[in-house]
Chains A and B, each alone.
Chain A
C-alpha cells in the first residue's frame, strides 16, 4: 500500500486557523496566571475605590450633580482596562523577544495583519475581562446603572484596542524589560491616572484643561463614564472621532511594524 504524501493545507485569503491559534495562545498566556493578571488588578482597583469611598469621604461628596462614587467607578474601571490591555500585549511581545520564542509566532504563515489582530485581540480580551470583573464588584457599592450601553461598549473596546496596540508597538520597540517598564511608568500609568479618572478635568488649571482635551485617554474615560452617568465633560462626538482616528493610525503603525519586521526580523 502506498501512502500518499500529505498535501499542503490550503490557506484562503485569511489564515483563520492561524489567527485563532495565536489568539488562543495570547488568552491562555494570561489565564494561566489569572490571579496575577486579572485578580491582582481587580483587587488594586477595588482598594482605590474603597479608600476614596470610605476614607476620603466619597460617600457624601458629589461631583457636579453626580454622586462622587458614581463618577469615580467608571473612571477606575477604564483605568484598569487600559493598564491591563497594555500590559498584556507589551509583556507578551517583549518576553517572547527576550526568550527568543518570538520565532514561533513569526515562522508560521501568518500575515502582518493577522499577527497584529491576534495580539491586539488578546489584549482586548484581558482588558475587557478585568473591566467586567471590576465593574461587577463595584457596581452595587457605587449605585451604578447603565445609561447608554452603546457608549459603554464602544469606549471600552476602543480603549482596550488603543492600549493593546500601544503595547504591541512598545513591545516590538523595546529591547529590554527596562524599556517597557519605562513606558509603563512614564506614559501609560500617568496618562491613565491623570486624565480624569479621579476628578473632573474642570478642576484642572487652564493650561492643563486644554491639554486634557488633546488627550485620547481623556476621551476614553469621559465617553465611557457618559455611558453610565449620562454626563460628560468633553464633547462626545469629538471623543468618538478622536478614538477612531487614533486607533486607525495606531493600527496602521502596528501593521507597518509587523510587515517591515522592525526589530523582529534580522
Chain B
C-alpha cells in the first residue's frame, strides 16, 4: 500500500504586477543599509559638514557687500542636492555590483520578476536611501543658515527626478562594469566631475566664456538648477526647461535600463 501522492501544489497566481517580489527586493535592500547604518549615517554627515565649514571659511568674511555670505547661501542647496544624488547612484550601483561580483545576482534573476519589477525594487530602495540622506544632511545645511525651501513642491520634484536619474545610472553602470574598479571609475571619472561642474556650487553666469555653454550640455545642471529654483527661487534656466530636460533624461534612461535588464546585458551569462 502506498501513500497517496500529494496533490501538486497549485502555482502561486501572480497578478499583472508581482508586488510581493518588488517588496522583497526592497526589504532585502533595506536590510543591507541597516547593516551598514553607522557608515550610512556618518559618511554624509561628515562630508557635508566639512564642505560647509570649508566653503564658509574659504569664502571669507562677508565684506561690505556681503558677497561671501551671498555665495555661501547660494551654495548650500547645491550641497544638499549633491549629497542626495551621490547617495542615489551609490545605492543601486554598489548593491548590484556587490551581488554581481559575489555571484548572488542569481537570487534576483531566478524568481519570476520582470525587468520593470526588478528596476522598481531597486529604484524604490535607492529613493528611500536618498530620503534618509536628506534627513541627515538637511539639519547641517539648516544649521549653516539655509532656510526651508521657498517652493517645496518644485524642490521636491527636482530632487525626486534627479535621484531617479542617478539611481538608473547606477543600474546601468552596474550592468556594464565587469569589476569593482570599473564601476568606481565611472563614478570618479564620470559622475563626480559632471556633478561638480554643473553649477552646483556657484552661479554658471559668473564663469569665463566657453564654460557656461558647455555646462548647458551637462544633465546635472538641469537637476541642480531646478532644485535651486525651488529652494531659493534663483535659477539660470526657466523652470519648465529644467523640468523638460530632466523628464526627457529620466525617460530615456528608463527605456535603456529596462531594455538592458530585459536582455540581461551584463547580468545574465
CA distance in complex: A47, B59 (Å): 17
**Which of A142-150, A153-161, A188-196, A240-248 lies at the interface with chain B?**
A188-196
Say if the beta carbon of A33 comes within 8 Å of chain B. Answer: yes
Contact with B along A192-214 (1 / 0, CB 8 A): 01100111000110000000000
The answer to whether B58 and A189 have CB atoms under 8 Å apart is: no
Chain A residue at smallest Cβ distance from B188: A40
Say if the beta carbon of A20 comes within 8 Å of chain B. Answer: no
**Residues of A close to B24: CB separation below 8 A:** none
Chain A residue at smallest Cβ distance from B208: A54
**Residues of B close to A204: CB separation below 8 A:** 57
Say if the beta carbon of B193 comes within 8 Å of chain A. Answer: yes
A residues 165-196 near B (Cβ < 8 Å) are 178, 181-182, 185-186, 189-190, 193-194
Say if the beta carbon of B202 comes within 8 Å of chain A. Answer: yes
Known contacts A51-B201, A181-B39, A198-B57, A43 near B46 by CB under 8 Å: no
Say if the beta carbon of A109 comes within 8 Å of chain B. Answer: no
**Residues of A close to B207: CB separation below 8 A:** 54-55
The answer to whether A43 and B189 have CB atoms under 8 Å apart is: yes
The answer to whether A50 and B46 have CB atoms under 8 Å apart is: no
Say if the beta carbon of B211 comes within 8 Å of chain A. Answer: yes
A residues 13-61 near B (Cβ < 8 Å) are 33, 35-36, 39-40, 43-44, 47, 50-52, 54-57, 61
CA distance in complex: A39, B189 (Å): 8
Say if the beta carbon of B196 comes within 8 Å of chain A. Answer: yes
**Residues of A close to B59: CB separation below 8 A:** 56
Which range contains the number of A residues in contact with the other chain?
A: 20 to 34
Consensus secondary structure, chain A interface: helix
CA distance in complex: A198, B60 (Å): 10
The answer to whether B50 and A194 have CB atoms under 8 Å apart is: yes
Q: How far is the CB of A49 from chain B (nearest CB, A)?
A: 11
Q: How far is the CB of A196 from chain B (nearest CB, A)?
A: 10
Q: How far is the CB of B110 from chain A (nearest CB, A)?
A: 29
Q: How far is the CB of A48 from chain B (nearest CB, A)?
A: 8
**Residues of A close to B184: CB separation below 8 A:** 36, 40
The answer to whether B188 and A55 have CB atoms under 8 Å apart is: no
Q: How far is the CB of A240 from chain B (nearest CB, A)?
A: 26
**Residues of A close to B105: CB separation below 8 A:** none
B residues 15-47 near A (Cβ < 8 Å) are 36, 38-39, 42-43, 46-47
**Residues of A close to B193: CB separation below 8 A:** 43, 47
The answer to whether B42 and A47 have CB atoms under 8 Å apart is: no
Sample (15) of A-B pairs whose CB atoms are under 8 Å apart: A35-B189, A36-B184, A40-B189, A43-B193, A51-B201, A54-B202, A56-B59, A56-B71, A57-B71, A189-B47, A193-B53, A197-B54, A199-B60, A203-B57, A203-B60
A residues with CB within 8 A of B: 33, 35-36, 39-40, 43-44, 47, 50-52, 54-57, 61, 178, 181-182, 185-186, 189-190, 193-194, 197-199, 203-204
When A and B form their complex, which 4 residue pairs have the shortest distance between CB atoms, in order from nearest? A55-B202, A40-B188, A198-B58, A47-B196
Q: A44-B192, A47-B192, A194-B50 are in contact. List 15 more A-B contacts (CB 8 A).
A: A40-B185, A43-B192, A47-B197, A54-B211, A55-B199, A55-B207, A56-B58, A56-B202, A181-B43, A185-B39, A185-B43, A189-B50, A190-B50, A193-B54, A197-B54
